[in-house]
A and B are shown apart, each in its own frame.
Chain A
Amino acid sequence: GENVEQHPSTLSVQEGDSAVIKCTYSDSASNYFPWYKQELGKRPQLIIDIRSNVGEKKDQRIAVTLNKTAKHFSLHITETQPEDSAVYFCAASTGNQFYFGTGTSLTVIP
């Protein structure tokens, strides 16, 4: 089955700086890559996703890039704010089910 690795496990940045979280996947059949944000004690919520026919997608301060050849995708958050502090999960889907990474705990220091 698919194996998704996510790095780093924890990340601290100063407010206003950028944050980058990286994921790799193993199954070349994976074609859908969502990112979920989970605030403390809350449910995971989709923040952005990308499909395999697209190399990059941007939504305001958040962007995701996908390199199918290298089988990795990344989440980029620019101009970070304290409310960006949360755990972020990447996921890959072959179409059968979702495989989640182990999560990155992001702390934005005011």
Chain B
Amino acid sequence: DSGVTQTPKHLITATGQRVTLRCSPRSGDLSVYWYQQSLDQGLQFLIQYYNGEERAKGNILERFSAQQFPDLHSELNLSSLELGDSALYFCASSAGLWGSGELFFGEGSRLTVL
């Protein structure tokens, strides 16, 4: 158990819909990262938050948005969903701001868009 909690574990929805994925980082970790992993693909970095502020942005679509709340949990919002958005979405947390320590991944949220 990494200490990172993601909900829901599985989600099936239709094209055009909107979903919210939730992540609770490890206790004490201030950084939260979101990654997208499509079938047989690598880990595509989406966005990073540190202590409530956006710190880095990767290949995140404009239809996607995220935020980190004062209690440090984070939400990834995916809207106007397309078939190609079907993927495993991982949240990861780390203690510090800078990427020089271990990333702890959650179990992932598997999104299926039909």
Residues facing B in A53-110 (CB within 8 A) are 89, 93-103
User: Quick check: B105 and A44 within 8 Å, CB to CB?
Assistant: yes
Residue of B nearest to A44 (CB): B105
Distance (whole angstroms) from the CB of B26 to the closest CB of chain A? 13
Q: List residues of B (88-114) whose CB comes within 8 Å of A's CBs.
A: 90, 98-103, 105-108
A97 with B56: CB separation less than 8 A: yes
The answer to whether A97 touches B58, judged by C-beta atoms less than 8 angstroms apart, is yes
Binds A, one of B40-48, B63-71, B75-83: B40-48
Q: B107 to A43, Cβ gap below 8 A? A: yes
- A59–chain B nearest beta-carbon distance, Å: 14
Is A46 interfacial (CB 8 A cutoff)? yes
The tally of residues in A whose CB lies under 8 Å from a CB in B reads 23
Total A-B pairs in contact (CB under 8 Å)?
Answer: 60
Interface flags, B5-41, vs A, CB<8A=1, else 0: 0000000000000000000000000000101000001
CB of A49 within 8 A of CB of B102, answer yes
Q: What residues of chain B lie closer than 8 Å to A49, measured between beta carbons?
A: 102
Distance of A99 Cα from B35 Cα, bound (Å): 11
Residues of B within 8 A of A97 (CB): 33, 45, 48, 55-56, 58, 99
Task: Tell me the dominant secondary structure on chain B's binding face.
Answer: loop
Are A100 and B43 touching (Cβ within 8 A)?
A: yes
* Contact yes or no, B103 A46, CB < 8 A: yes
B43 → chain A, closest Cβ, in Å?
4
Q: Are A96 and B99 in contact (CB under 8 A)?
A: yes
Least CB distance, A27 to chain B, in whole angstroms: 12
B105 near A43: Cβ-Cβ < 8 Å:
yes
Closest B residue to A103 by beta carbon equals B42
Question: With contacts A31-B100, A98-B45, A100-B45 known, what are 20 further pairs, Cβ within 8 A?
Answer: A34-B102, A36-B103, A42-B107, A43-B105, A43-B107, A45-B2, A45-B105, A46-B102, A51-B100, A89-B43, A93-B100, A94-B99, A97-B33, A97-B45, A97-B55, A97-B56, A97-B58, A98-B33, A101-B42, A103-B41
Residues of A within 8 A of B (CB): 31-32, 34, 36, 42-46, 49, 51, 89, 93-103
